[in-house]
Amino acid sequence: MVDVRGTVTFVLKGYPRLSETFIAQEIKALEDRGLVINIVSLRRPTDPHSHPIHDDIKAPVAYLPEYLWQEPLRVWRGWRASRRKAGYGRAWRVWLDDLARDRSANRIRRFGQALVLAAEAGRDVTHLHAHFLHTPASVARYAGLISGLPWSCSAHAKDIWTSPRWEKEEKLADCAWAVTCTAANHDHLAALAPAGRVELAYHGLDLARFPSIEKRRPNGPVTILSVGRAVEKKGYDDLLTALAALPDGLDWRFVHIGGGPLLGALQSQARAAGLQERIEWRGAQAFDAVLEQYRAADLFVLPCRIAADGDRDGLPNVLMEAMSCALPVLSTRVSGIPELIDDGINGRLTPPGEPKALAAALAELIADHALRDRLGAAGEARLRADFAMDRGIDTLMARFQAVSPPS
């Protein structure tokens, strides 16, 4: 167990969130290593379900004012306490510089939340750590400047690729350290940061929650599964186009798990293509139900792409979860996905945004159960050999230890 003195405050955009169980997995693993954590969330939960891992986390959770007008007295008290701190003047100047380049209500809200965080952080808090380089890191940065606390960041996907260059450079210059979850992300951020500031740390998977199973092949149509939010970067409209193009002789069904703003549009697209009888839209599901579907399916598909605003996935945990169940995976050559999947060796990859190529790969995999079995077994072996979470947790503990105050 690594000795880290004091409490680390994790600043999250929302907690708990089904789509961010990789963060909960990390928090639980760090707690098991002896890190004392409290969680501060910018938003309250909205998901209808939570993951079992959230029940295992000991860290207390506090919620900042999601909108400043909702808790004006709390914000005022935060300002009163923060303006007496030595770092308030510098934080104010940094925020004004940021506001001049980003004149948004969001920018104002982040400073107000930082005032509350800086004022309410207990004396035992020795470090702030933000998950995501955009809004949570803004709050952690301003609060760190006010209070004199070091802060760090885990950067992931949208927060990297939709943030302006100036903001990434300045945050990376200010933070004590940063980690990110793919080599593609690391190369991008390291080019913007002081030498050695950014380190690669794969999330990996808590394999204790995904034990190896004997994959059974059910009778009937080939079940294609996807788990993910209905947002542009997941490429589900490409998948529906590909499914509509499959040869008539193939016997398949598609199951989608997840919510998201584009779900209605995707269901309309499926009806227009005559696919509605072959598709089940199950919405957000509890963990046990998702795991059951991984184990029952024949093929997992996630056709990620780069969205119009630059948003993209890093290395989606659902790919690792599927591979842990010996489920063959079909995805695309986006961001960190090729770091996990070697095309034709332990899964299949097609170019992003190309439904014809996706349809061809789907047709091959649906028709060839021996190929599915081979890729599924190789994918599971790859995951269990190289993507267990322990290595990434080792990296994080070493970083937290390096900034731990002396006894």
Question: Looking up tokens 């308030």, which residue turns up?
Answer: 88
Of residues 260, 96, 101, the one with CA closest to residue 168: 101
Selection from 7, 37, 11, 31 nearest residue 125 by Cα: 7
The string of DSSP codes covering 227-243 is ES-SSGGG-HHHHHHHH
pLDDT of residue 407: 43
What mean pLDDT comes out for the span 267-291? 95
Topology agreement, domain 7-203+389-402 and domain 209-386:
yes
Question: Length of the chain in residues, anyone?
Answer: 407
Q: What number is the average pLDDT over the span 241-264?
A: 97
CATH label, 7-203+389-402, candidates 3.30.300.30, 3.30.750.24, 3.40.50.2000, 3.40.50.150: 3.40.50.2000
Whether the predicted pLDDT of 2 surpasses 50: no
pLDDT at 70 over 60: yes
Axis-axis angle for helices 317-324, 369-386 (nearest 10): 110
Structure confidence at residue 47 (pLDDT): 79
Query: How many CA atoms within 13 Å lie on the side-chain side of 124?
Result: 10
Q: What is the pLDDT of residue 50?
A: 79
- Is the link from the previous residue into 72 a cis peptide, with omega within 30 of 0? no
pLDDT score, position 52: 86
- Which band of pLDDT confidence, cut at 50, 70 and 90, is reported for residue 218? low
Pairwise CA distance, residues 384 & 66, whole Å? 39
Q: Which stretch of DSSP H or E encloses residue 317?
A: helix 317-324
| CA pair distance 14, 37, nearest whole angstrom | 16
Q: How confident is the model at residue 152 (pLDDT cuts 50, 70, 90)?
A: very high
Q: pLDDT tens across 87-102, in order? A: 999 999 999 999 999 9
Question: Confidence class of residue 1 from pLDDT cuts 50, 70 and 90?
Answer: very low
Which pLDDT value is given to residue 219?
A: 77
Q: Are 246 and 276 in contact (CB under 8 A)?
A: no
Nearest partner of 200 among 219, 217, 180, 220, judged by Cα: 180
Residues 6+ apart with CB under 8 A from 126: 5, 6, 7, 8, 149, 150, 403, 404, 405
Question: Does the pLDDT of residue 405 top 60, yes or no?
Answer: no
Measured CA to CA in angstroms, residue 89 lies from 68, 92, 118 at distances of 21, 5, 13
Percent above pLDDT 70 for the chain: 97
DSSP 277: G
Query: Looking at the DSSP assignment, which residues form a beta bridge with residue 332?
Result: 350
pTM: 0.90
Distance CA 141, CA 366 (A): 49
Instruction: Tell me the C-alpha distance between 339 and 304, whole Å.
Output: 14
Count of other CB atoms within 10 angstroms of residue 218: 10
The model's pLDDT over 301-347, given as tens digits with 9 standing for 90+, comes to: 999 999 999 999 999 999 999 999 999 999 999 999 999 999 999 99
Query: The domain 209-386: what is its CATH number?
Result: 3.40.50.2000
CA angle, 358 then 362 then 365, to 5°: 140
Could you tell me which residues are beta bridge partners of residue 39? 10, 61
What are the residue boundaries of the structural domains of the chain, listed by start?
7-203+389-402, 209-386
Decide: 329 and 378 in contact? Cβ < 8 Å.
Answer: no
- Amino acid letter, 344: G
Looking at the DSSP assignment, which residues form a beta bridge with residue 154?
Answer: 131, 179
Report whether 312 contacts 157 (CB < 8 A): yes
- Whether the CB-CB separation of 246 and 363 falls below 8 Å is answered with yes
Helix, strand and coil content of the chain, in percent to the nearest 5, comes to 45, 15, 35
Q: Are 319 and 300 in contact (CB under 8 A)?
A: yes
Alpha carbon 48 to its chain centroid, in Å, reads 18
Q: Which residue has the tokens 């400073």?
A: 111
Please state the rounded mean pLDDT for residues 6-16: 96
Pure H helices in 297-389: 317-324, 337-340, 355-367, 369-386
Rounded average pLDDT over 35-43: 97
Helix ranges, 7-134 (H): 21-32, 52-56, 72-82, 88-101, 105-120
Confidence of residue 179 (pLDDT cuts 50, 70, 90): very high
